[in-house]
Amino acid sequence: MRQPPALLAEDAVATALETLDGWSIAEGKLTKTYVFRDFVQAFGFMTAAALCAERANHHPEWSNAYKTVDISLTTHESGGITQKDLDLATEFEQVAGGTAHE
């Protein structure tokens, strides 16, 4: 049986957050709100991000309201934040590619 990913120590998460612009911890989850130019740009981001999540077999909790996308990442099987969450957040940043603003 496969072991769940290891939880990251708080200091490791804090260090990683220094390189993840706009990401923070809320309720034990890695979170960010992206604001795009319009709904089409927000939905385009979500489409590309969904493909990243599917490839990683690691899926976000997220919502979309017009041009705003709220994302929360946590590794449920581990009970908190793991490297999988940081990796996916990094991919989402690459997908957003400067098209979002806060």
Q: Which of 77, 87, 91, 102 is catalytic?
A: 77
Q: Which of 58, 61, 87, 91 is catalytic?
A: 58
Q: Does 101 participate in catalysis according to the annotation?
A: no
Q: Does 76 participate in catalysis according to the annotation?
A: yes
Q: Which of 10, 54, 61, 101 is catalytic?
A: 54
Q: At what angle do helices 83-96 and 39-56 cross, to 10 degrees?
A: 140
**Sequential DSSP letters for 9-77:** PHHHHHHHHTTSTT-EEETTEEEEEEE-SSHHHHHHHHHHHHHHHHHHT---EEEEETTEEEEEE-BTT
Q: Which of 21, 38, 76, 101 is catalytic?
A: 76
Radius of gyration of the CA atoms of the chain, in A:
13
Q: Which of 10, 21, 38, 59 is catalytic?
A: 59
Q: Does 85 participate in catalysis according to the annotation?
A: yes
Active site residues: 54, 58-59, 76-77, 85
